[in-house]
């Protein structure tokens, strides 16, 4: 299967109603095509039903010029249009700037953004911080990493892209690797991944983790694994083997 077919399959899977990740045109997905180019969902398309021509190829450095200077509201539409690599009436998703930032600062190959009900039950709560306070079970560590990022609610578009850039840069300085999971408070989930398959698995595990955290709150409160237990799982050779088998590293 070629890369674009795999990307389209990811979009359709993320849009399946039973997953409860997105409704209508919610969410967006992109793929790195080369150092300067990404394919990203066009604005207004539904993940569940989109076609190959609902992706637009855009120039990442052109989009990143939005981060320079003021009055980005006035410049966004024209900049997005200028970034298009081919003639089309479509424009990139409004969050293209956030995808561009993540391709600039991380080795991401595929980025997916959804609004999972299970995740947002927590990001919209006063317990959102618990999503990044610790690890609850071994598979969460193996797949989602020892730590994840939570970004406070920020106006979508350029302000959100700047907030994510700062949070991810800090994370990478501390951890030495890029985060796989970025929670956006009162908004949703960003997954930074190596492949379409990886993006779907990470999304599924983030949803499962949120459901377990939600259930643990109802059952008396979460009991996070101890730091030495987390480090042990993170460094066990058999877990490294499993991580490779899952294609999540």
* Residue closer to Zn ion, measured from CB, 179 or 188: 188
CA dihedral 55, 60, 65, 66 (to 10 degrees): 40
Measure the CA–CA gap between 64 and 62, rounded to whole angstroms. 5
**CB of residue 31 vs Zn ion: minimum separation in angstroms?**
18
Find the binding residues for Zn ion in span 171-200 (CB under 5 A). Answer: 188
Which region holds residue 57: left if phi is over 0, alpha if psi is between -120 and 50, else beta? beta
* Residue closer to Zn ion, measured from CB, 32 or 113: 113
**CB of residue 193 vs Zn ion: minimum separation in angstroms?**
17
* Residue closer to Zn ion, measured from CB, 41 or 214: 41
**CB of residue 25 vs Zn ion: minimum separation in angstroms?**
10
Give the x/- contact pattern for Zn ion in 122-151, rule: CB under 5 A: ------------------------------
* Residue closer to Zn ion, measured from CB, 47 or 60: 47
**CB of residue 94 vs Zn ion: minimum separation in angstroms?**
8
For the CA atoms of the chain, what is the radius of gyration?
A: 18
**CB of residue 38 vs Zn ion: minimum separation in angstroms?**
17
**CB of residue 7 vs Zn ion: minimum separation in angstroms?**
18
**CB of residue 50 vs Zn ion: minimum separation in angstroms?**
16
* Residue closer to Zn ion, measured from CB, 41 or 142: 41
* Residue closer to Zn ion, measured from CB, 95 or 198: 95
The residue sitting closest to Zn ion, measured at its beta carbon, is: 188
How many residues of this chain bind Zn ion (CB under 5 A)?
1
Token reading at 152: 């406070």
* Residue closer to Zn ion, measured from CB, 66 or 189: 189
Contact 213, 222 (CB under 8 A): yes
Binding site for Zn ion (CB under 5 A): 188
């Amino acid at each position: 299967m070629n890369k674009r077919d795999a990307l389209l399959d990811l979009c359709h899977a993320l849009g399946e109603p039973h997953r409860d990740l997105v409704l209508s045109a919610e969410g967006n997905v992109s793929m790195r095509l080369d150092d300067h180019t990404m394919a990203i969902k066009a604005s207004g398309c539904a993940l569940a039903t989109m076609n190959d021509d609902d992706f637009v190829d855009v120039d990442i450095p052109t989009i990143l010029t939005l981060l320079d200077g003021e009055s980005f509201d006035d410049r966004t539409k024209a900049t997005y249009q200028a970034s298009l690599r081919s003639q089309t009436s479509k424009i990139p998703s409004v969050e293209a700037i956030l995808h561009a930032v993540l391709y600039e600062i991380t080795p991401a190959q595929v980025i997916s953004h959804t609004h999972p009900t299970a995740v947002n039950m927590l990001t919209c709560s006063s317990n959102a911080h618990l999503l990044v306070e610790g690890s609850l079970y071994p598979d969460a560590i193996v797949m989602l990493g020892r730590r994840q990022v939570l970004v406070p609610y920020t106006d979508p578009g350029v302000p959100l892209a700047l907030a994510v850039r700062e949070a991810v840069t800090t994370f990478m300085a501390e951890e030495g690797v890029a985060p796989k999971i970025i929670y956006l408070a009162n908004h949703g989930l960003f997954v930074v991944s190596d492949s379409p398959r990886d993006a779907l698995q990470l999304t599924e595990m983030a949803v499962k983790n949120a459901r377990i955290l939600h259930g643990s709150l109802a059952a008396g409160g979460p009991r996070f694994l101890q730091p030495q237990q987390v480090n042990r799982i993170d460094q066990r050779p058999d877990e490294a083997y499993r991580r490779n088998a899952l294609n999540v590293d």
